[in-house]
Amino acid sequence: MLWISLSLPKSRLLNLTGSMSFIALGIYIILAAQKFEELGKVTPVFIGTGVIFLAILLLAAEFLIPNSIPKTKKIEGSLPRRIIFVGLMVVWVSLLQYLGFLISSILAFIFISAAVPRKEKWSLLPFCFHAAAGVVTTVGFWLVLTTLLDVPLPEPRIF
Amino acid sequence: MEFLAYGVNAFTPLIVVVAIGGLVIGIVLGALPGLSSTFSLAVMLPVSISMDPVDGLVFLGTVLMGSTYGGSISAILINTPGTPQSITTTFDGFPMAKQGDGGLALSIACLSSVIGGLVGIVAFVWLAPPLAKFALLFGPTEFFWLALFGLTVIASLSEGNLIKGLLSGFLGLGLSQIGISVVSGDARFTYESTALIGGIPIIPATIGLLCLPVAINLIADAGHHLSAPVNARSTRFVAAIRALSERKINLVRSSVIGTVIGIIPAAGGAIASLVAYAEATRVAKPEDRFGKGDPGGIIASESANNATVGAGLIPTFVLGIPGTPPNAVLLGAMLVHGVSVGPKLFTDHADVVYTFLWGVTFATILMLPVGIMAGRYIYLAVVKMPKPYLVPMVALMLVIGAFAIQNNYHDIVIMLVLGVLAWSIGRFGFPAAPIVLGILLGPIAEQGYAQAMIIGKAKDNVLGMFFGRPISLILIACIVAAIALPPLLKRFSSNRYRIQSHAVD
């Protein structure tokens, strides 16, 4: 198996790994469904079987019908910036419970804005302008939601 | 005729103001991701109660109409359906916006919404009693087949590879199994987490799966989010009318589908737009580009979901059964105003009902200028907005949208996790849209299947329960046609092309 894996092109290897992962997921769903009531396990077992069947079909298509599976898309643009964005979202969502909506969202707005690539050279003035716009926007949303629409946004818990 | 007689009462200056106000509020709330029609109606309910019964109901009716259309604005411009009814609008609306046709897409959405909305109201006025009886013919078996029919649209959403599209659909079905089972009461795949007990909520899931990947890609380069065409200021209204007139059959068919599905309790606009989209793709010509920016996709989705607004009032008003959550809010408002629903509504409260219908009809027509202008200005704002402001703004709307509907912190976490999952597997050719469909339709299919099974076993006729009812048979025929026809038509058209090529040679 290892030898087969090493001798495969990268896109085929990814499809192979994907198919195997889906087969494992299907098996897990079927096994986990065994502890449910009779009526409650019908659909999960059907779904698990469907996932396994389709994953085997994907595997067969990959090896038996050349070029039937499209190659993996190449990532366009900056991957590190994407990772930074997701990281900032995770931090934002984590802090939401402690700092509340207003403070965490203003901070997140400013940091995400700073992470966006710019065509022109980085300078303080446009950054301050976007940060100020972020503060106004966040406060505006907060006011509309909490006062006009009566949506209770998360309150700070550490103060 | 009684309906026409009440027309004069409807056009008072106050009702005109109320209708315009309701429409604008509905469009704005509907355009914000996550704030659904139900939410819009619920927050406006106290405002309506302070009004006269007719004015209050017209206000709520126009908020519902406006929010249903408003959902298409964010669906087209940032790939985030403002309401679940607009999920299918993203399939072609966002690709059109990416290609510089955002203004055209918004105008098509507005025109389709108006026409679909009017068809739904006409159905209510002329066909309410017989259609209400038809709605009662829908039982669990029919819901099961209807959900399966909705899933056939996956085939047309699977650009690149059908197997990967189906796998995504099954992944969505799998996600729909998380939480307390509606059929057995088991806590399935919850891992003793209280956050998962309630299952995967559809709105945060939709926002995460469809919009977060767009936000993740937005930050990757310094270019503009949408390409700005030379005529960005134009609404391209004439081009939109031309697009609709070239797709008249699609428009009529989708409006009728929306009307029929709208009267079925619990089906709603999301299912209607899904079935209409599936039908549009099933009969598509080879040159159509569904899923890649075809105006026909927007026409199908928007005309169907707006037709459900008027049609959804039929079971609510005639039978007292609110088919969808927004209709339940409307029903509540009617009861608060002392208007009792049921078969006698049209005789006991004819003035309220018919004036309400005139008000909603007027608001639907009014949606054309208001909706087009709103769409135009929002489009211009999104096109011109600098990315350092747009990206955090989109992220903020995602967080608010995921949170606001249930005021639940865990919904934001679910949105984030599913969004990252959708972006990751999207790289390997697994589309996110079928996952959304799976989450949406999974519970409907499972509940229908389980209830039909129980009834079938009790009657000792399981097969008859699934395959012996007229509407079920029609739906089964539609499913078979949806699966078998596209490859057959493709083969037929390629054979015809080959014959023509030989003839030319």
Q: Is pLDDT of B505 > 60?
A: no
- Cβ contact (<8 Å) for A96 and B160? no
Please state, in angstroms and rounded to a whole number, the distance separating the CA atoms of residues B106 and B63: 19
- Per CB-CB distance under 8 Å, the chain B contacts of A57 are 163
Phi-psi label, residue A150: left if phi above 0, alpha if psi -120 to 50, beta otherwise: left
What integer is the mean pLDDT of B133-151? 81
Distance set, CA B217 to CA B78, B81, B225 (Å): 12, 18, 9
What integer is the mean pLDDT of B296-317? 87
Please state, in angstroms and rounded to a whole number, the distance separating the CA atoms of residues B211 and B205: 10
Per DSSP, A74 falls in state P
- Cβ contact (<8 Å) for A154 and B403? yes
- Per CB-CB distance under 8 Å, the chain B contacts of A73 are 426-429
Best mutation target among B180, B217, B389, B406 (most A Cβ atoms within 10 Å) is: B389
Residues 6+ apart with CB under 8 A from B38: B324, B325, B326, B329
Q: Name the least confident of B78-82, B364-368, B404-408, B429-433.
A: B78-82
- Cβ contact (<8 Å) for B450 and A127? no
- Per CB-CB distance under 8 Å, the chain A contacts of B429 are 69-70, 72-73
What integer is the mean pLDDT of B401-430? 89
Candidate ranges A82-96, B40-54, B333-347, B421-435; pick with highest mean pLDDT: A82-96
**Distance of residue A159 Cα from the nearest chain B Cα, in angstroms:** 19
**A31-40 CB burial, b ≥16 within 10 A, e <16:** ebbeebeebb
Q: Name the least confident of A41-45, B201-205, B490-494.
A: B490-494
Size of the A and B interface in Cβ pairs below 8 Å: 177
Question: Closest residue of B to A110, CA-based?
Answer: B392
C-beta neighbour count of B499 within 10 angstroms: 10
Confidence (pLDDT) at B504:
47
**Residue A27 CB-half CA count within 13 A:** 7
What integer is the mean pLDDT of B383-392? 85
What integer is the mean pLDDT of B219-248? 77
Query: DSSP string covering A13-72, please?
Result: HHHHHHHHHHHHHHHHHHHHHTTS-TTTTHHHHHHHHHHHHHHHHHHHHHHHSTT-SPPP
**B171, B189, B388: residue with CB nearest A116:** B388
- Per CB-CB distance under 8 Å, the chain B contacts of A44 are 174, 177, 188-189
**Distance of residue A5 Cα from the nearest chain B Cα, in angstroms:** 18
Candidate ranges A90-99, B211-220, B372-381; pick with highest mean pLDDT: A90-99
Q: What tokens does B4 get?
A: 């026409």
Query: Which is higher by pLDDT, B342 or B20?
Result: B20
**Distance of residue A39 Cα from the nearest chain B Cα, in angstroms:** 6
Per DSSP, B85 falls in state G
- Cβ contact (<8 Å) for B396 and A105? yes
**Distance of residue B392 Cα from the nearest chain A Cα, in angstroms:** 5
Please state, in angstroms and rounded to a whole number, the distance separating the CA atoms of residues B375 and A148: 23
Please state, in angstroms and rounded to a whole number, the distance separating the CA atoms of residues B64 and B66: 6
- Per CB-CB distance under 8 Å, the chain B contacts of A54 are 163, 166-167, 170
- B487: contact with A, CB 8 A cutoff: no
What integer is the mean pLDDT of B275-299? 85
Q: Is pLDDT of A29 > 90?
A: yes
- Interfacial A residues in 55-74 facing B (CB < 8 Å): 55, 57-58, 61, 68-70, 72-73
Please state, in angstroms and rounded to a whole number, the distance separating the CA atoms of residues B55 and B66: 16
B243, B299 Cβ separation under 8 angstroms: yes
Confidence (pLDDT) at B498:
56
Q: Is pLDDT of B268 > 80?
A: no
Phi-psi label, residue B385: left if phi above 0, alpha if psi -120 to 50, beta otherwise: beta
Confidence (pLDDT) at B279:
85
- A90: contact with B, CB 8 A cutoff: yes
What integer is the mean pLDDT of A128-138? 89
**Distance of residue A1 Cα from the nearest chain B Cα, in angstroms:** 22
**Distance of residue B159 Cα from the nearest chain A Cα, in angstroms:** 10
Q: Where exactly are the structural domains of chain B?
A: 2-498
**Distance of residue B452 Cα from the nearest chain A Cα, in angstroms:** 12
What integer is the mean pLDDT of A71-76? 72
Which SS3 state, helix, strand or coil, does residue B112 take?
helix
Confidence label for B252 from pLDDT (cuts 50, 70 and 90): very high
**B170, B395, B404: residue with CB nearest A145:** B404
Confidence (pLDDT) at B19:
86
* Helix-strand-coil split of chain B, %, nearest 5: 75, 0, 25
Tens-place pLDDT, residues B19-76? 888 888 888 888 776 666 777 787 787 778 778 888 888 888 888 888 888 888 888 8
Q: What is the pTM of this model?
A: 0.79
B85, B273 Cβ separation under 8 angstroms: yes
Average pLDDT, chain B: 82
- B395: contact with A, CB 8 A cutoff: yes
- A20: contact with B, CB 8 A cutoff: no
Query: Which is higher by pLDDT, B124 or A106?
Result: A106
Confidence label for B419 from pLDDT (cuts 50, 70 and 90): very high
Angle between helices B248-262 and B295-314 (to 10 degrees): 30
What percent of chain B lies above the pLDDT cut of 70?
A: 87
Q: Is pLDDT of B402 > 70?
A: yes
Q: What tokens does B496 get?
A: 């015809």
Best mutation target among B36, B67, B170 (most A Cβ atoms within 10 Å) is: B170
- Interfacial B residues in 204-243 facing A (CB < 8 Å): 215-217, 219-222
Tens-place pLDDT, residues B99-113? 888 888 999 999 999
- Cβ contact (<8 Å) for A51 and B389? no
- Interfacial A residues in 109-138 facing B (CB < 8 Å): 109-110, 112-119, 126-127, 130, 133-134, 137-138
**Distance of residue B267 Cα from the nearest chain A Cα, in angstroms:** 21
Confidence (pLDDT) at A109:
94
Distance set, CA B441 to CA B102, B153, B161, B202, B272 (Å): 29, 12, 22, 10, 12
Confidence (pLDDT) at B211:
83
**Distance of residue A66 Cα from the nearest chain B Cα, in angstroms:** 13
- Per CB-CB distance under 8 Å, the chain B contacts of A150 are 43
Confidence (pLDDT) at B361:
87
Confidence (pLDDT) at B79:
81
